[in-house]
A = this chain, B = another copy of it.
């Protein structure tokens, strides 16, 4: 097995734990234990737990930006782009370790004092909104109408993510996916 440096190990371990049990449900001690590192090493790389959370959110955002870029450059018809998003979400759900949108979950336990965290959530959500607007603009000539439809896709995606988690079932993603395709035709 590979053995990257301590910082990467911490970030990777924290990412898995935060994703599965939420930011507030995981302590530093568990992270460093599972990452096989020492507390002093942790605080050498991250000044606080909050900054680790910010690094995690930033990391996820970077990955999702790459994925969004690839999808937009794929040349697929816009309906299939949107469908791919919901299929991907459904696959996550079927994999079993899905716990809802990590950004929303983190926001639910962050007060207004956590400026960095709140800002990263906003940046990611706004960027996802733009992504769906771009998809909509490929299918809808009217610029204003495309923006509105893009926002609706975004809200359907968010609602499907939230309620699939709350109800622990798949239908919200399927229904939202169908609605998204309909909105684009």
Contact = CB atoms under 8 A, between A and B. Distances in A.
Contact of A167 (B21, B126, B160): B126
A24 interface: yes
Interface residues of A, number: 39
Given A105-B108, A107-B100, A156-B156, A151 B166 contact: no
A109 interface: yes
Q: What number of copies of this chain does the assembly contain?
A: 2
Interface in A101-122: 101, 103-105, 107-109, 111, 121-122
A54 interface: no
A44 interface: no
6 contacts: A22-B108, A125-B167, A155-B160, A155-B176, A159-B162, A162-B162
